[in-house]
Chain A
Amino acid sequence: MDAAEVRDKVKEVIANVTGIEAGEIADEANFVDDLGLDSLSLLEIAVDVDYAFKLGLPEERLQALRTVQDTVDLVLAHRVEAAA
């Protein structure tokens, strides 16, 4: 899965939680400032991303996510770590 595919999947997860069309979510969108999400919705996105990519990451790394790009970067970095 390349970066573009990871980004599409992340946006799909966000769309399921927010009801916002995936195509309307900008690559740089901030979850709170741009998408207006509350803490429970942020947590739901973190859980769903963790589950979708089978990351098994510790809670604090998931809670640090602020933007779509953060999330894509985290998934890609984890895949590099896992492959190493």
Chain B
Amino acid sequence: MSQQDRVVITGCGVVTPLADEPQALFDALCAGRSALRPLTLFAAAGGGRRRAAELTDFDPRRDLGKVNVRPLDRVGRLATVAARRALAASGWTDERRAEHDVALVLGTMFGSVRTVTGFDHRALTAGPSYVKPLDFANTVINAAAGQTAIWHGLRGVSSTLAGGPTAGLQAIGYAADLVRSGRAGAVLAGGVEELCAESFLAFDRHGLLGDAANGSRSGPVPFDARRAGFALGEGAALLMVESARLAAARDAPVLAVVRGHGSAFDPRRGDDEGSAARALARAIAAALADAGLEAGDVDAVSASANGSVSGDRREALGLLAAFGDGARELPITAVKSMLGETLGAAGALQTLALVEALARGVLPGIAGLGSLDDDLPLAGARAASRRLDMARGLVTTTGFDGNVHALIVERPAP
């Protein structure tokens, strides 16, 4: 593939509890700052000791102006604001968008499940005649993508990908395919997820949230031998994925190159550890083949690990299966130690953290990491951030449903 045919990333927009823009977010991650705080958005069993990475002061009007945001629910607002920031960061101004289509691929796990619940609640309590028309418009899975495209006048393909915690990364891979095939020149790609009672209560009832088991600890610790579960988070991240040719034509700075990606599914849904590990290894092998690279070309991993007892173990086994002995020293970060499990947004947040890491030559540590499981020899997973010269990084995401996705980004040539 010639340089001109490459797929590049030219800007990112984020909404997170830690920071409103990628550089500040990366600084926070390198400093080991946690987004976890006492839950205030809704009531949950355990009261004040429950913790989540919640956005407590998100006001879409700061970005969108003094306009009516009632047609957008919280998910739509998060996506629309992240898109505004990504468009600004990548130089896709209103004028440029009037001349050239921009597409959108948005990943999400639950979409607007809270709006759906509210819609049903109103029908049951007030009566079917009094359901909210504006809420109805947001009960579909692609509501946030549609609202974002309407708001910013995006005229290209508008897609929504549902794939649990892999959705945000799959969105970037799908966007890269759209660009490579010539179906799109510029694609906003990433993911969004809101913190809501519906998902929190469900994960809590399944015993997957770490603070229920171990409230005194500061947060989830991916890959740690003492890990007890994950913490939920929320946010949105969108990356401008475009052809190198288009980026060069408009003199846009290139933050990273998307080299390749790969998907796999574990039909055993995790009840067979070996099957789960092999699925991740297949996705990584597919990403390497797509990129024309070998395992030894990967300098660092931005892992999906979130503190889950079984999920982190499967991911570690998958990395060992994919990289063999090379996995033992492979530098690994896991930003969910600080951002919580942001589900549909997670893969995009992992990617932009890694893009920033390649550019700065610093890999964020895994906040709170003490000791690893004895049989998971990943010595490259460390608590402290470190200086590291990295040309290429791998992002891995693993879902609850069996979906796994891997994507490789590369530092642009100077």
Contact = CB atoms under 8 A, between A and B. Distances in A.
Interface in A29-84: 36, 38, 40-41, 43-44, 47, 50-51, 56
Q: Is the interface of A mostly helix, strand, loop or mixed?
A: helix
Contacts of A43: 133
B130 A19 contact: no
B131 interface: yes
Nearest to A19: B68
Contacts of A36: 68
A76 B361 CA distance: 70
A44 B133 contact: yes
A3 interface: no
A47 B67 contact: no
Given A40-B137, A44-B134, A18 B70 contact: yes
Interface residues on B, range: 10 to 19
Contact of A41 (B70, B126, B129, B131): B70
Interface string B124-141: 001001111110010000
Nearest to B66: A19
Contacts of A20: 68
A17 interface: yes
A44 B133 CA distance: 5
A19 B69 contact: yes
Q: Interface size for chain A: under 10, 10 to 19, 20 to 34, or 35 or more residues?
A: 10 to 19
Nearest to B137: A40
A19 B70 contact: yes
Contact of A40 (B126, B129, B133): B133
Contacts of A44: 70, 132-134
Nearest to B68: A19
B71 A40 contact: yes
Contacts of A41: 68, 70-71, 134
Residue from A18, A41, A47 whose CB has the most chain B CB atoms within 10 Å: A47
Interface string B71-92: 1000000000000000000000
Contacts of B133: 40, 43-44, 47
Contacts of A47: 129-133
Contact of A50 (B70, B129, B132): B129
B134 A51 contact: no
A62 to B, nearest CB: 10
A56 B132 CA distance: 16
A43 B137 CA distance: 12
Closest 9 pairs (CB-CB, A-B):
A43-B133, A19-B68, A51-B130, A44-B133, A44-B134, A40-B133, A18-B68, A40-B134, A19-B70
Given A19-B70, A44-B132, 14 more contacts: A16-B70, A19-B67, A19-B68, A19-B69, A36-B68, A38-B71, A40-B71, A41-B68, A41-B70, A43-B133, A44-B133, A47-B130, A51-B126, A51-B130
27 contacts: A16-B70, A17-B70, A17-B134, A18-B68, A19-B67, A19-B69, A20-B68, A36-B68, A38-B71, A40-B71, A40-B133, A40-B137, A41-B68, A41-B70, A41-B71, A44-B132, A44-B133, A47-B129, A47-B130, A47-B131, A47-B132, A47-B133, A50-B129, A50-B130, A51-B126, A51-B130, A56-B129
